[in-house]
């Protein structure tokens, strides 16, 4: 499982606001990711807002807008399931490149919670649901807030 060896981050996010941008596709998975992200923001004491977008590609432009508005941290959540066409590769590469550009161009941490999976079961295993093995929504918030705090300290 990809989560083996992940750090246990305890983040004091008081005074920070995290913008959670989440896709509407794959409702069960996305609800789990969003709930995990919200739980992590609350546990850290951070303010948060959830904005829902159509798919896994759309968080890039919303993240860009939020970075320009001065967001402390951004988390992008989505699911792309491998299909029979190259569409999977295009969406994954474009979303990854777009979110990376936002982070670097604006020096704003972007928590990467875009699940790129072979099948829906792999997504469910990472969605932070009761039977899930991992909680990628929570991990993305913890990573983004941790990085925001580091940037403030540097």
- What does the CA dihedral 126, 140, 26, 85 come to, rounded to 10 degrees? -90
Q: Which residues pair with 114 in a beta bridge?
A: 78
111 vs 8, higher pLDDT: 111
Residue 120: CB partners within 8 Å, gap ≥ 6? 26, 29, 81
Q: Count of alpha carbons within 13 Å of 64, Cβ hemisphere only?
A: 12
Q: How confident is the model at residue 25 (pLDDT cuts 50, 70, 90)?
A: very high
For 107-134, the pLDDT digits (tens) are: 999 999 999 999 999 999 999 999 999 9
> Are 21 and 30 in contact, with CB atoms under 8 Å apart?
no
DSSP 8-state secondary structure symbol assigned to residue 13: -
| pTM score, whole prediction | 0.93
Annotated binding residues, as ranges? 25, 56-58, 79-81, 84-85, 112, 126
For 46-93, the pLDDT digits (tens) are: 999 999 999 999 999 999 999 999 999 999 999 999 988 888 899 999
Region 28-40: mean pLDDT is: 97
DSSP-derived 3-state class of residue 136? helix
Q: How confident is the model at residue 138 (pLDDT cuts 50, 70, 90)?
A: very high
* C-alpha to C-alpha distances, 38 to 2, 104, 108, nearest whole angstrom: 22, 25, 19
Region 131-152: mean pLDDT is: 96
Helix (H) or strand (E) holding 64: helix 59-68
Annotated binding residues for (2S)-2-hydroxy-3-oxobutyl phosphate, as ranges? 84-85, 126
Q: Work out the burial of residue 35: count CB atoms within 10 Å of its CB; fewer than 13 is exposed, 13-18 middle, 19 or more buried.
A: middle
Which sequence positions are flagged as catalytic?
Answer: 87
In this model, does residue 106 exceed pLDDT 50? yes
Region 40-49: mean pLDDT is: 97
């Amino acid at each position: 499982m990809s989560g083996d060896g992940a750090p246990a981050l305890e983040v004091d996010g008081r005074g920070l606001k995290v913008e959670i941008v989440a896709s509407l596709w794959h409702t069960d998975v996305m609800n789990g990711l969003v709930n995990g992200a919200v739980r992590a923001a609350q546990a850290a004491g951070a303010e948060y807002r959830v904005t829902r977008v159509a798919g896994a590609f759309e968080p890039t432009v919303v993240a860009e807008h939020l970075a320009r508005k001065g967001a402390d941290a951004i988390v992008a959540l989505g699911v792309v399931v491998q299909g029979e066409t190259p569409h999977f590769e295009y969406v994954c590469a474009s979303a990854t490149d777009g979110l990376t550009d936002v982070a670097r161009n604006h020096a704003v941490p972007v928590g990467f919670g875009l699940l790129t999976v072979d099948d829906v079961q792999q997504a469910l295993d990472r969605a932070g649901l009761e039977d899930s093995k991992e909680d990628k929504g929570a991990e993305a918030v913890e990573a983004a807030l941790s990085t925001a705090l580091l940037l403030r300290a540097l």
